[in-house]
Structure 1
Amino acid sequence: MNSYLLTNMTWEEVEEALNTVKMAIIPVGAHEQHGPHMAESCDAVLATEMAKKLAECMYPYVFVTPTINMGVSPHHLNFPGTISLKPDTLIAILRDMVQSLKHQGIKKFLFLNAHGGNQSTLGVASTVLSQEEEVEIYYAKTTSSAKMSIHQFIQSPIFGHSCEREVSEALYLAPYLVRPDKLSAGDFCEGGRYKQLRPGKAIQGFYRYEEMTKNGCIGDATKATREIGEQIVTEATENIAESLRELLGIEIELLN
């Protein structure tokens, strides 16, 4: 399948691609603990692989930039190996990337995010940079739009981090991230503040992940399968591609 990935292209190839490219997709991930059964690069890798699938669907109208492989992860810092950016650091990196690509004629951008902790920062970045740079900036979580598949296959009341959803996606997109012999359910802490502060509650706020789970994961990764991951990724890719076609005002056939 055809796609435009900047990391694989020469400047002459990019120059030619700019004749049709209308948008740059910037994958945004994180480097943080993912429990005993997932590599810490998980979010960066999943953002990259989802961006590649979108690039195939949207060829020749988008290209994919290098991935920002660290994100806003202070809630994971007490687990060894986590590297976190401050929100203003992430916004500064995005500003530099947008300015660089605007200089080359790109006026539309999608921040494709695979880490929930980045979402609020990306909302601010989208608002601020769109006005500062006079460009159009959108952001999306990689698979959160796959409502039908998630509702069908994910039964855990709390999921979203190294759980059956995320591990299933990894088994489909990048199985080397997964340690199959260590798949575990979340080891939840009793009485943690997370019960009062998680999204959906009346008040949200910062809490550290060890206040919620002793082993760093939630949900039940033992229920993950490659097939579930494929259905979630396929539905989400179709949804994002459909929205991008509308935003860009183009009609192309979705590639399966």
Structure 2
Amino acid sequence: MNSAYHRRVAFPSELGNSTTRQLLDQTPALIIPLGATEQHGPHLPLDTDTRIATAVSSAVAGLLPGDWLIAPAIGYGASGEHEGFPGTVSIGTAALRELLVEFGRSACNWASRLVFVNGHGGNLDAVAEATTLLRVEGRDAAWSPCSVAGADAHAGHTETSVLLHISPNDVRIDERVPGNAAPLAELMPRLRHGGVAAVSPVGVLGDPTTASAAEGARIFTEMVETCARRIAAWTPNNRGMLE
């Protein structure tokens, strides 16, 4: 192979926009945004979770020492609880788990470690099981949620505020309506049986009418700082989650 091919070139920030040459003789770490394609009420786009995970990942990568690459987002997840609404595409927990395991096995052939940054609560079992298996197999994999304390459950104040901060032109302000604001623990029996549609005909768990871009900036900053701290500390628990 031509020796010029091995010459070190500028390290990229995005895996999808990289070349093999840029990654030769390097062992970067990899951040993989993990989201979903599912209903988010009448006012938020279907890829809300993926947008948040991607934006958090991009911001986090700039705060970490060393060479970190951001992978193209995985935009389908376990969203069965939202299948009562058009637009939702769920691949389920079992399929997502296998996807993440095979992703990790392949990526760890050249990446030093990898972390899934998860933006959808329905993915938790799959990402925890996948990273646990990858770690048992000797691969340095982990995951971190995009979450903040006190957040409402779905398409309410929290997610709408964050979208008003990162994607304001894609929030349908005039179509915001309050949803079911009861505690999630109280809703779980009906959610398990009939999905979100059984507890909220509009698909919202919370109140998006109180959302603002300023609040979104605050929440997003907290998400980024918490995720960056977890990744920098790199202390996975027994389910692969960074603490």
TM-score normalised by the shorter chain: which range applies?
A: 0.7 to 0.9
Secondary structure class of the residue paired with 2:73: coil
- Cross-structure match for 2:40: 34
- Cross-structure match for 1:48: 54
What code does the residue aligned with 2:188 have? L
Query: Does residue 170 of the first structure (1) align with residue 176 of the second (2)?
Result: no
Secondary structure class of the residue paired with 1:5: coil
- Cross-structure match for 1:5: 14
- Cross-structure match for 1:213: 200
- Cross-structure match for 1:99: 105
| Preserved CA contact (<8 Å) 1:4 1:59 | no
What code does the residue aligned with 2:23 have? V
Runs of 4+ residues over 6 Å off in structure 1: none
What code does the residue aligned with 2:80 have? P
TM-score calculated relative to the size of structure 1: 0.79
What code does the residue aligned with 2:64 have? M
Deviations 1:34-56 (A, max 9, x none): 00001111111111111111111
| Preserved CA contact (<8 Å) 1:169 1:229 | yes
Task: List aligned pairs for 1:124-203, cutoff 5 A.
Answer: 124-132=129-137, 134-142=138-146, 144=147, 146-147=148-149, 150=150, 159-186=152-179, 195=186, 197=188
Deviations 1:83-113 (A, max 9, x none): 0012121122112221221111x24221111
| Preserved CA contact (<8 Å) 1:164 1:224 | yes
Secondary structure class of the residue paired with 1:46: helix
What code does the residue aligned with 1:197 have? M
Which of residues 6, 11, 14 is equivalent to 2:23? 14
CA 1:85 to 1:236, structure 2 compared with 1: closer, same or farther past 3 Å? same
- Cross-structure match for 2:7: none
Query: Does residue 71 of the first structure (1) align with residue 58 of the second (2)?
Result: no
| Preserved CA contact (<8 Å) 1:32 1:76 | yes
Deviations 1:161-185 (A, max 9, x none): 1111001111112223311121111
What code does the residue aligned with 2:175 have? K
What code does the residue aligned with 2:55 have? E
What code does the residue aligned with 2:24 have? E
| Preserved CA contact (<8 Å) 2:101 2:133 | no
Which of residues 227, 233, 237 is equivalent to 2:220? 233
Secondary structure class of the residue paired with 2:24: helix
Secondary structure class of the residue paired with 1:8: coil
- Cross-structure match for 2:3: none
> How far is the alpha carbon of 1:195 from its aligned partner?
2.7
Q: Distance in 2 between matches of 1:188 and 1:101?
A: 41
> How far is the alpha carbon of 1:139 from its aligned partner?
1.4
| Preserved CA contact (<8 Å) 2:12 2:22 | no
Secondary structure class of the residue paired with 1:6: coil
What code does the residue aligned with 1:72 have? A
> How far is the alpha carbon of 1:67 from its aligned partner?
0.7
Of residues 70-79 and 3-12 in structure 1, the stretch that sits farther from structure 2 once superposed is 3-12
TM-score calculated relative to the size of structure 2: 0.83
Q: Distance in 2 between matches of 1:184 and 1:3?
A: 42
What code does the residue aligned with 2:168 have? P
| Preserved CA contact (<8 Å) 2:101 2:131 | no
Q: Distance in 2 between matches of 1:114 and 1:45?
A: 8
Q: Distance in 2 between matches of 1:218 and 1:161?
A: 5
Secondary structure class of the residue paired with 2:115: strand
Secondary structure class of the residue paired with 2:108: helix
> How far is the alpha carbon of 1:136 from its aligned partner?
2.1
Q: Distance in 2 between matches of 1:6 and 1:63?
A: 6
Of residues 52-61 and 117-126 in structure 1, the stretch that sits farther from structure 2 once superposed is 52-61
Secondary structure class of the residue paired with 1:33: coil
Q: Distance in 2 between matches of 1:223 and 1:103?
A: 46
